[in-house]
């Protein structure tokens, strides 16, 4: 039977979510009213309500823009490569960390792998660009090894932008991305590993048959979220590597929206593109979740 005291205690505990709920309402739900901008010829001087209604005009403008297919190609290539390379890498690192014996070496390894995440993209990209300049350490190494005849400006090689960006993202987010998998592996009962040892399983077999299946649900959820955000590349990191020589390969949907929509003051156009991108992301999220539930019996919802 629930007493008044228990109800009072629960009320105090449940009230702790109020600040987070308030932030969610103020910064996530109330701004959704601004979606109306996508269907109007927005004029900041008269406001959203008084701006004339234009329906799907901005959506049609975006879909017939000659730059659309180029930015979509770059966005999809970067995200598909990122998913194929950057998604499994934190899982592998988490398994390796989990297999290390407890001690200072394990702690130092984890700390070192996390450090790049806490550097801003301005600093981290600056380090990468310094190494990739024509007379930088990478170019000098390649010349000494006979790979190239002379100094190479890597950032001027347009198609190379894809791998440079993906590998930079991998290094920066590898350690931090492994945290959730390390936490999941920590929760696996040690007795299961001991029983496997008694049965004669080697380390690789214990990883394949115990560790990875134990975090299958976590992997499925993270993959669903990854697929749902496949149209997002971010702005800051792209801008840091972007220049006039690789612009054809580095212009993505996010940078396009910023340049055409926000920098030029076309708020309604940028809102329309953002809304369209969100709709596609939700559709991909639902498809990925449905497929995951059928294949792994695990899903986000």
* pLDDT for the residue 162: 93
Q: Give, as one character, the DSSP assignment of residue 297.
A: S
What integer best gives the mean pLDDT of the chain? 87
- Phi-psi region at 53: left, alpha or beta (left = phi > 0; alpha = psi -120 to 50): beta
pLDDT score of 34:
85
- 8-22, 47-61, 233-247: the lowest-pLDDT one: 8-22
Query: Is 90 exceeded by the pLDDT of residue 264?
Result: no
Q: Record the tokens describing residue 181, joined without a space.
A: 């998998």
Write phi, then psi, for 40 (nearest 5 degrees).
-130, 160
Please, is 112 exposed, middle or buried when counting C-beta atoms within 10 Å of its C-beta (0-12, 13-18, 19+)? exposed
Look at the chain and count its residues: 301
Residue partners of 138: CB distance under 8 A and separation at least 6: 131, 132, 154
Is the per-residue pLDDT at 235 higher than 90? no
Please name the residue that has the structure tokens 């930015």: 71
Mean predicted confidence (pLDDT) in 20-25: 91
Task: Enumerate the H helices of the chain as residue ranges.
Answer: 4-14, 18-24, 47-50, 57-63, 68-86, 88-99, 104-114, 121-132, 137-144, 161-177, 179-186, 190-198, 203-206, 212-214, 216-228, 236-241, 247-250, 253-256, 267-295
- pLDDT by residue (tens digit) across 157-204? 888 999 999 999 999 999 999 999 998 998 888 888 888 888 888 888
Pick the closest to residue 242 from 164, 173, 174 (CA basis): 164
Averaged pLDDT for residues 119-127:
91
Residues 6+ apart with CB under 8 A from 177: 86, 89, 90
Query: Which CATH superfamily, name and number, covers 56-295?
Result: MetI-like (1.10.3720.10)
Model confidence band, residue 67 (pLDDT cutoffs 50, 70, 90): confident
Read off the pTM. 0.86
43: which strand partners?
Answer: 47
Read off the pLDDT band of 3 (50, 70, 90).
low
Both structure tokens of 34: 């601004």
Query: What are 163's two structure tokens?
Result: 């791998």
Across the range 92-104, mean pLDDT stands at 87
pLDDT exceeds cutoff 60 at 1: no
Per-residue confidence (pLDDT) for residue 76, from 0 to 100: 93
Q: What is the pLDDT of residues 69-79, one digit of tens each?
A: 999 999 999 99
**What does the alpha-carbon distance between residue 27 and residue 31 come to, in Å, rounded to a whole number?**
6
Report whether pLDDT(262) > 80. Answer: no
What's the confidence (pLDDT) of residue 91? 94
* Per-residue pLDDT, 296: 77
Span 53-73, average pLDDT:
90
Q: Minimum mean pLDDT among 4-18, 117-131, 239-253, 255-269: which range?
A: 4-18
Other Cβ atoms less than 10 A from the Cβ of 113: the count is 21
- pLDDT over 70 percentage in the chain: 99
Q: Is the pLDDT of residue 59 over 70?
A: yes
**Per-residue b or e along 204-236, where b marks 16 or more CB atoms closer than 10 Å to that residue's CB:** eebbeebbeeebeebbbbbbbeebbebbebebe
């Amino acid at each position: 039977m629930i007493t008044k005291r228990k109800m009072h205690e629960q009320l105090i505990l449940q009230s702790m979510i109020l600040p987070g709920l308030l932030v969610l309402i103020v910064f996530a739900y109330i701004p959704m009213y601004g979606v109306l901008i996508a269907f109007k010829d927005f004029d900041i001087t008269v406001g959203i309500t008084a701006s004339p209604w234009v329906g799907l005009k901005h959506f049609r403008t975006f879909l017939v823009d000659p730059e659309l297919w180029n930015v979509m190609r770059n966005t999809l290539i970067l995200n598909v490569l990122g998913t194929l390379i950057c998604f499994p890498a934190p899982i592998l690192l988490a398994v390796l960390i989990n297999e290390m014996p407890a001690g200072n070496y394990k702690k130092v390894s984890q700390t070192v792998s996390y450090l790049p995440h806490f550097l801003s993209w301005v600093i981290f990209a600056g380090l990468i660009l310094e190494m990739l300049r024509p007379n930088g350490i990478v170019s000098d190494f390649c010349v000494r090894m006979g790979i190239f005849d002379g100094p190479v400006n890597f950032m001027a090689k347009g198609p190379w932008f894809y791998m440079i960006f993906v590998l930079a993202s991998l290094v920066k987010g590898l350690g931090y991305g492994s945290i959730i998998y390390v936490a999941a592996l920590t929760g696996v009962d040690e007795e299961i590993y001991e029983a496997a040892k008694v049965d004669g399983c080697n380390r690789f077999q214990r990883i394949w048959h115990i560790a990875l299946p134990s975090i299958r649900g976590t992997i499925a959820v993270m993959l669903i979220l990854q697929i749902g955000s496949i149209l997002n590349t971010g702005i800051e990191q792209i801008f840091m590597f972007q220049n006039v020589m690789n612009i054809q390969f580095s212009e993505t949907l996010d940078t396009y929206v910023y340049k055409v929509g926000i920098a030029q003051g076309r708020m309604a156009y940028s809102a329309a593109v953002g809304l369209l991108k969100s709709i596609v992301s939700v559709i991909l999220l639902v498809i990925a979740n449905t497929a995951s539930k059928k294949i792994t019996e695990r899903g986000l919802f």
